[in-house]
Structure 1
């Protein structure tokens, strides 16, 4: 996969930043307004500066560098300890509780049984959301409908 060229990168950044000029986009990224003209003159851009700016703004790098690509997201959190050891951890209890508070009303609305398996399925869907390609609420509504329909079919057999 190729990285976006300067023009493509700038068009995408204008969309996400809601800025209309290159100098405004640079300021949004936390860079001097003259940065774009320097990149244009050199016919290259510093992706590391773009990445730093996007992360400061809280924007997913996927959106800029891999739009419409179905990327793999491990279901773990990366934690670096003081000894510089890398450890993988499941979502925190607080994050899991937040997910359950979000999904349980949807499950109730669609009469999805409150089983451990259904809770797990719905919270996994909650944690796998990425960006706004599909609204989280819409995705979870569809999952709940599918679960309810499948379980009704199973119960009627």
Structure 2
């Protein structure tokens, strides 16, 4: 099957297509194999040939052939290219996986006896600006628990969507909240 035909197939989440850790020993988790890696890169780059994908990543066009010949991918170069393009690494390496993001910005710092407002406070206000009109549109009561549920879903989005499992959990919580009233 040609590379172009493989690109047009749906991206695979099949874990049997994952490489063992690279020989460097730095990474000890499964990583996508070359075919899966190229399929994901084709989707995000909107390129159809291996050489165009390599150019999009900022790599020499021969890189794909070298990886294929060695049966090994230089993930450092992939990561550098994805970051340069502004692509989320969790999207590339863990699609459809809900990842926990550490909440390190919630620490209040002191400077000259004044307190800085944590960055997440602004993010919460922006989230409420989005979810409250939706709640009003559907006649949802403006209770603390309803606002919390809606903002929780808002923050769980990834790109322009939400992982299906996350959305199902949020709907189940909403139904349980509604039934409790």
Task: Specify the alignment match of 1:39 in structure 2.
Answer: 67
Per-residue Cα deviation, 1:69-119 (whole angstroms, up to 9, x for no partner): 343334x1469xxxxxxxxx9653322221111101111112222223322
Q: Does 1:49 align with 2:81?
A: no
Shift of 1:21: 0.8
Q: 1:152 to 1:129 in 2, by over 3 A?
A: closer
Pick which of 25-34 and 15-24 moved more: 25-34
Aligned partner of residue 92 in structure 1, secondary structure: helix
> Are 2:45 and 2:56, in contact at CA under 8 Å, matched by a contact in 1?
yes
Give aligned pairs, total.
141
Query: Aligned partners of 2:118 and 2:54: how far apart in 1?
Result: 36
Higher deviation after alignment, 111-120 or 17-26: 111-120
What TM-score do the two structures reach when normalised by structure 1?
0.71
Unaligned runs of 5+ in 1: 80-88
| Greater relative contact order, per chain length (Cα 8 Å cut-off, separation 6+) | 1
TM-score by length of 2: 0.63
Note the aligned Cα RMSD (angstroms).
3.2
Q: 2:38 aligned with 1:10, yes or no?
A: yes
